Amino acid sequence: MFQLPVVAAAALAEYPLNPEVQQQVVLMSAARAKKEAVQKVDEGDYTTASQLLQTARKQVLAAPASPLMEQEAIALIDLDRDLQRRQVQQFRKMSHYQSHSISRSFSQSTYHDYQVQRSQRYRGQNLPDDLRGRIEVIQGDITKQRVDAIVNATDNYLSGSGGVDAAIHRAAGSELKKECEQIHRCETGEAKITRGYNLPARWVIHTVGPVWQGGHQGEDQILAQCYRNCLMLAEQYSIKTIAFPAISTGLRGFPSDWASRIACSQVKIFLQRNSAIEKVVFVCFEQRDFDCYLNSV
């Protein structure tokens, strides 16, 4: 006969939740926080409203990553910004609209779909002989990659905040923050290396991508420099396998199709001249970037 063990309530709380369930719980709690924030705004209590949104954002960022969760975190930041600016009409309208669109997109795009998408992988099978199998494009989370080094798209202060930078710091743990504080600064286009701590990757190579300003401020040369400097550092540290995110295509606003062409051409040139690095994996978080890399590689 099938028997279930009896588990005390405290022990139950420690049971690992399925990631999809964790996301659902966090999204429901974010929706509740938004509703309560609207009530607080109606009562004129902007401080509590803002605190509710900030707590919800932290919970979303701590949940298993997926494009939908990232979208929700950004939505919460936008709402808080409207609140700070006292754009109350806009805040009400957006929070109402978001509760509908998020619940709709969760039913359409669940963590399970995300896992299925994650298995999308291009293994460089039809590249020229000297590059065949040495460049991969996947859709997924860079923090999960089993490679010697992952690249982090950070800022000049290696602050660990926002986008892929925050995801890497969350997964690596607080020791990474301490080592970054010792480095102190990384110029735009440069690269610095630290250990990976709790990450599956042994090393993290941090680089600062250019902010897109319309394309006439040397942004493409700086982005190319990021890739070259990361690869040179990897070679110095005898790193054989390295994963890159789509540097600068998030908060820095670089168009994905243009960024992916620069990334692919720099990596190809480097690998053709250096056989020490065996494999480069482009890890695209979003479908849009994945499609661009497939077109560019």
Query: Counting contacts by CB under 6 A, is residue 222 touching ligand ADP?
Result: no
Alpha helices in the chain (DSSP H): 9-13, 19-42, 46-62, 67-84, 88-108, 111-118, 163-172, 174-183, 219-236, 256-273, 287-296
Query: Counting contacts by CB under 6 A, is residue 247 touching ligand ADP?
Result: yes
Considering only residues 123 through 152, tell me which ones interact with ligand ADP, judged by CB under 6 A: 141-143
Query: Counting contacts by CB under 6 A, is residue 280 touching ligand ADP?
Result: no
Binding residue for ligand ADP, selected from 26, 56, 65, 242, defined by CB under 6 A: 65
Q: Which window, 31-39, 77-85, 246-254, 267-275, contacts ligand ADP (CB under 6 A)?
A: 246-254
Q: What angle do CA 182, 187, 188 make, to 5 degrees?
A: 135
Q: For the chain, what is the radius of gyration of the CA atoms?
A: 21
3 state SS of 284 = strand
Query: Counting contacts by CB under 6 A, is residue 158 touching ligand ADP?
Result: no
CB closer to ligand ADP out of 59 and 95: 59
Q: Applying CB under 6 A, what is the total number of residues that bind ligand ADP?
A: 23
CB closer to ligand ADP out of 53 and 250: 250
Query: Cα(200)–Cα(198) distance, rounded to whole angstroms?
Result: 7
Contacts 24+ apart (CB under 8 A), 16-23: 19/63, 19/64, 19/111, 20/110, 20/111, 20/112, 22/63, 22/64, 23/63, 23/64, 23/66, 23/68, 23/69, 23/106, 23/110, 23/111
Q: Which window, 12-20, 55-63, 164-172, 264-272, contacts ligand ADP (CB under 6 A)?
A: 164-172
Binding residue for ligand ADP, selected from 27, 31, 138, 167, defined by CB under 6 A: 167
Query: Counting contacts by CB under 6 A, is residue 245 touching ligand ADP?
Result: yes
Query: Cα(231)–Cα(207) distance, rounded to whole angstroms?
Result: 11
- Per-residue burial over 253-290, b if 16 or more Cβ lie within 10 Å, else e, is ebebebbbbbbbebbbebbeeeeebebbbbbbbbeebb
Pairing between strand 149-153 and 203-207?
Answer: parallel
Query: Counting contacts by CB under 6 A, is residue 263 touching ligand ADP?
Result: no
Query: Counting contacts by CB under 6 A, is residue 210 touching ligand ADP?
Result: no
Nearest approach in angstroms of CB 7 to ligand ADP is 33
Query: Counting contacts by CB under 6 A, is residue 249 touching ligand ADP?
Result: yes
Q: Which window, 14-22, 91-99, 121-129, 156-164, contacts ligand ADP (CB under 6 A)?
A: 156-164
Question: Which residues lie below 8 Å from residue 120, measured CB to CB, with a gap of 6+?
Answer: 138, 139, 290
Q: Residues 82, 165, 257, 291: which is the catalytic one? A: 165
Query: Counting contacts by CB under 6 A, is residue 23 touching ligand ADP?
Result: no
Query: Counting contacts by CB under 6 A, is residue 291 touching ligand ADP?
Result: no
Sheet-wide strand order for 149-153: 121-122, 135-139, 279-284, 241-244, 149-153, 203-207, 191-195
Binding residue for ligand ADP, selected from 41, 283, 292, 297, defined by CB under 6 A: 283
Nearest approach in angstroms of CB 86 to ligand ADP is 27
Binding residue for ligand ADP, selected from 23, 26, 60, 163, defined by CB under 6 A: 163
- Is 220 among the residues known to form the active site? no
Question: In the complex, which residues of this chain contact ligand ADP (CB under 6 A)?
Answer: 65, 141-143, 153, 162-165, 167, 209, 245-252, 283, 285-286, 289
Catalytic residues: 165
